[in-house]
Structure 1
Amino acid sequence: MGFPGTWMTESESVVYRVVPKCACSTIGQIMFYSDHGTFFDGDIHDAKGGMHKWALEDSHQPIIDNVRDHKSYAFTCVRNPYTRILSSFFDKICGIQRNGKRYRGNLVPMLIQKYGIEVGGDDGKQEFDQIQSFRRFLLFARDTIRWRRPMDPDIHWSAMSGHVSTFIVNGGAYDKIVWTEQFNEGMQGVLDNIETPHSIDLAQIPRFNESEGHGPKRAHPVEEYFDDLSMHLVYEIYKRDFQLFKYDFENPGNKMPIGEIDLDEVHAKLGD
């Protein structure tokens, strides 16, 4: 199985398990800068060099050797499940992607046909009932996760605990889990524990939000997208995420964590 979604600096100063929709573009650029003193020119997900990534064949052995022996500080980053699934909807379903096309080809036409979703027209810019369409998308996301139909779940809306667990199950251990909502504070905690060829001043780091501008702007507060049924579906899909990463299930309008993450609990519950 190895370590899918794992990135490591070439200097092996730090190891990071990517969780989609959780500041991964910014984290990747920070790691790249910490080794090279410059940011990667483009989307860090497209980088084929300058950093070890599990997706690159030549990086497999260095990552395995490092992670299995816990040679470097290892971390990941998580986000409130309510805002994460909303972000996935606006970016991946309503938005036009970097290549100028819809995400995953025929996915959006299938959603329009089978689930009655609207996405704001061909360019994602037209008015539509965001709340109704999002709730229908939520049914689809639940179907993919619960029954793997009409397709397997996508990495952008599958549970964070699933991404986080592969690292543990295959022999890794985390030193820190950062909350997206307290990013600077959490990332500073990572930087304080590692030595990098180039120093990082987080206050000077731009936010690399590669999904921004892909889709329509959210027209309502977060909590208005989630009625009682939607909250039930979200809990069915993301129960472990709420519990392990200490987010507030009862109040979709509160994106902030409500407790401290217990790393021992995370390793115990996601390691089997």
Structure 2
Amino acid sequence: MGFPGTWMTESESVVYRVVPKCACSTIGQIMYYSDHGEFFDGDIHDAQSGLHKWALEASQEPITRNVQGHESYAFTCVRNPYTRVLSSFFDKICGIQRNGKRYRGNLVPMLIYQYGVEVGGEDGKQEFDQVQSFRRFLLFVRDTIRWRRPMDPDIHWSAMSGHVSTFICNGGRYDNIFWTEAFNDGMQKVLDAIETPQDVKLAEIPRFNESEGHGPKRAHPVEDYFDDLSMHLVYEIYKRDFELFKYDFEDPSNKMPVGEIDLDEVHAKLGN
């Protein structure tokens, strides 16, 4: 199994478990900058060098050695499940991807046909009922996660606890898990805890939101997308995420956490 989704600086100053839709582009660029004093030119997910990634074969041995020996500070970053699944819908389903095509080829036509989802036309720019379409998308998300039909769940909407757990199950241990909603505080704690070849001044780092501009703008406040049934579905899908990462299930309008993350609890509950 190894350590899928794990990135490490070449200097081995820090190890990061990527959780999709949780500031991963910005975090990856900060890691890249902390070694090289410059940002990767392009989407950090496309970088084939300058950063160890589990997906690169040459990186697997150093990542395995480092993580299993806990030789470096290890962290990840999480996000409110309501805003994360909503962001996935607008970016991946409604948006045109950076290759100029729809995400995953025939996925969107299948969603239109089987679930009645609308996406704003060919270019994602036309008016459509965002609330209705999102709620239908949520049924699809539940089907992929609960029954793996009509396809396996996608990394962008599968539960964060699943991503976080693979790192623990294979012998890793987190020193820090912080919230996207308090990004500067969390990322600063990471930087304060490690030695980097290049000095990183967090206040001067731009935000690398690679998904921005892909899809239509969200037309309503977050809570408008979630009625009683949608909240029930979200809880069914993301129950562990709400509990472990201390988000407010009762109030979709409150994106902020309501308690502190207990690292021991996370390791105990996700480690088997």
For this pair of structures, how many residues does the alignment match? 272
Deviation at 1:178, TM superposition (A): 1.2
Measured in 2, the distance between the counterparts of 1:143 and 1:174 equals: 31
Q: Take 1:196 and 1:117, find their aligned partners in 2: how far apart are those partners?
A: 46
**Deviations 1:131-154 (CA, angstroms, capped at 9, x unpaired):** 000000000000000000000000
CA distance in 1, matches of 2:181, 2:28: 17
Equivalent position of 1:34 in the other structure: 34
Alignment match, 1:184 = 184
Match in the other structure for 1:18: 18
Q: Aligned-pair distance for 1:223?
A: 0.2
Q: Distance in 2 between matches of 1:165 and 1:238?
A: 14
Report the AA paired with residue 87 of structure 2. Answer: S
Partner of 1:94: 94
Q: Which runs of 5+ in 2 are unaligned?
A: none
Paired letter, 1:224: D
Following the alignment from structure 1 to structure 2, what is the Cα–Cα distance between the partners of residues 231 and 258?
18
Partner of 2:84: 84
Aligned residue for 2:139, secondary structure, equals helix
| TM-fit CA distance, 1:201 | 0.7
CA distance in 1, matches of 2:107, 2:27: 28
Q: Give 2:268's aligned residue.
A: 268
- Supply the RMSD in Å over aligned alpha carbons: 0.2
| Distance of 1:4 and 1:178 partners within structure 2 | 20
Task: Say if 2:2 is the partner of 1:2.
Answer: yes
The CA distance in 2 between the partners of 1:141 and 1:73, in whole Å, is 33
Distance (Å, rounded) in 2 between the aligned partners of 1:42 and 1:207: 13
Q: Offset of 1:12 from its aligned partner?
A: 0.1
**Distance apart, 1:167 and its partner CA:** 0.1
Q: 3-state DSSP class of the match of 1:165?
A: helix
Q: Deviations over 1:136-191 (max 9, x none)?
A: 00000000000000000000000000000000000000000010000000000000
Percent identical residues? 86
Runs ≥4 residues deviating over 3 A: none
Q: In structure 2, what is the Cα distance between the partners aligned to 1:266 and 1:178?
A: 12
In structure 2, distance between residues paired with 1:243 and 1:78: 12
2:193 aligned counterpart, secondary structure: coil
Unaligned runs of 5+ in 1: none
Aligned-partner residue type, residue 96 of structure 1: I
Aligned to 1:228: 228
Alpha-carbon offset, residue 69 of structure 1: 0.4
